[in-house]
Structure 1
Amino acid sequence: MTRFADITTMGVGGHIAHFVEPTTRVGLIEAVEDADSKGLPLVVIGGGSNMLVSDDPFNGVVVRDARCLITVPDEAAPVEGGDRTVHVNAEAGANWDDFVAFTVELGLEGVEGLSGIPGTVGASVVQNIGAYGQEVATSVESVEVWDRETKTTRDLTPADLQFGYRYSALKASMYAGPGKPADRFFPTPRYVVLSVAFALTHSAEGTVGYGQLAKALGVEVGDRMATADIRKAVLAVRAAKGMLEDPTRYALADMATAKREANILSDLDRLAALNNQAGIPAGSDGLPAPDYNRHSCGSFFMNPILSAQQA
């Protein structure tokens, strides 16, 4: 029986009565609708960060979208007329860092500063994730959702999503107020993300938009450089602060298919190098020793928002 401890980054949480991993769009909708029709507590989970779960058994349904297809409906090269926009569609269950790696390898600019953030594409728009001068809102063109109230699918625009600092209308739909869960939908939003369409830019270079990142790269804020180098620097900065998830978690049976194998191996190599520098030996299985410093609850804080006068 699957435990929350096996699918969350903190590594804690009790047994789950019903753990479902739909592999189709219809299957995902049916799993959500089945739980709602029976009045069962529902958790639609992504990468399992930002979650602190009780060790008591969970007598409800946990749904994790197993769909992870990423497609490019456009040509991945500039079209005639100079428009460098390239659309990329991703199913909600796609690992977020898999998505970032895919776009950088394709020569696209827009999300390279969000490298190494744990979670899934679906969760990225709920939280409006952001780091190192970028946030996901600036690249989202539309989000397809299942509306648990009207029992219909909808395509939401950025205006519908009301993106703000670590905020979206999706996130707001499960709260009655700041920190106060809504009676009806919590702990899963009214709108369950099915897929996200991104509008990125065909460019092998990106803008360094954050002071700490610029310092690590030895450049000035606003300078342009290769997106692959920006991604590499972001991962290094995050690793130095213990802000990358522990890749050994993907050795667990319940996590084995949640991220692309090639990227898991790259993450393991990165952890092995860090452990070697720190004099930490590998485990008896040959894998890097688990990094318990990375049993992180994710971004549990928010920076204060001040007016210019207050600042």
Structure 2
Amino acid sequence: MEISRFKSEKIHQKFLTFYDEAMKKLPVPQEIFDIDTTYGTVRVYRFGNRGGIPILLFPGRAASTPMWEPNMAGLLKTYDVYSMDLLGEPGMSTQTKPIKDNEQQAVWVEDVLRELQLTKVHLVGVSFGGWSAVNYAVYYQKYIASIILLDPALVFAPFSLKIILFSLITILPFVPESWRKKSMSWISGGAQVDPQDSTARLISIGLKDFLIKTPPPKQFTTEQLNSIQAPILVIFAGKSIVHDSAKALAYAKSLSNPIEAEIWPAASHAINGEFPNEINERIGTFLSGINSQKK
């Protein structure tokens, strides 16, 4: 198996320019870590210095830490926040060894948390980041205080035909650039995406010019999902093209572990950027409820 990488060093340098520009929109991190793991070096940022159980952010597919800009300032009013660029995805993390299966996808996350020396952490993942957070929880649960999932991909429902078409449009080399731009709007519920926005450009480059060589994600079994002991909040987007949100909601509510699940009808798959204040408030309510139950 190969290693995930940019198609050329020229593309990589272009990506880094946009990345630096996008990171300037975020609060200045308190610390920056480059953590050596079993499968590569993982970039982690720590924001805030409040203490208590922090939040760890998992970005979506072909995204990285800058995608959390709409949520970051609000979350930092209450919590310390860690954010990492996923290994095998475009960002500041560098894969050095092939990742062959889901369990190995979880191993490097465990390596990161062990190195950070966090006793407990709240996992927050959007889209594929939600899948990554759940995948980690299937294999390791020692450090997990709770899990918050924003329209997670391939966790509670299979992919829709629409998202498969979207994936093809974004990666096939002969597809016109105008189609790619329209597809980005499509996944965002029809909202126009600013082509000059540095974060949007990061995702565009990641989708088109980064070769992901990690195994394709697989939907979890009921047994795997029920094995997770941590409290879970999942918010499905009513306008999501990733899956059938109504069926995903019904399945999530049928599981035996403690899950709070709901649909936000007006939201698209870009839910964290569309409703940042509402998302932050809902996260706060959920985590406050967990804390009150422990008292």
Q: Which protein is bigger by CA-based radius of gyration? A: 1
TM-score > 0.5 by shorter chain: no
Greater helix fraction, Structure 1 or Structure 2: 2
TM-score by length of 1: 0.26
For CA contacts below 8 A with separation 6 or more, give which structure has more relative contact order: 2
TM-score of the pair, normalised by structure 2: 0.27
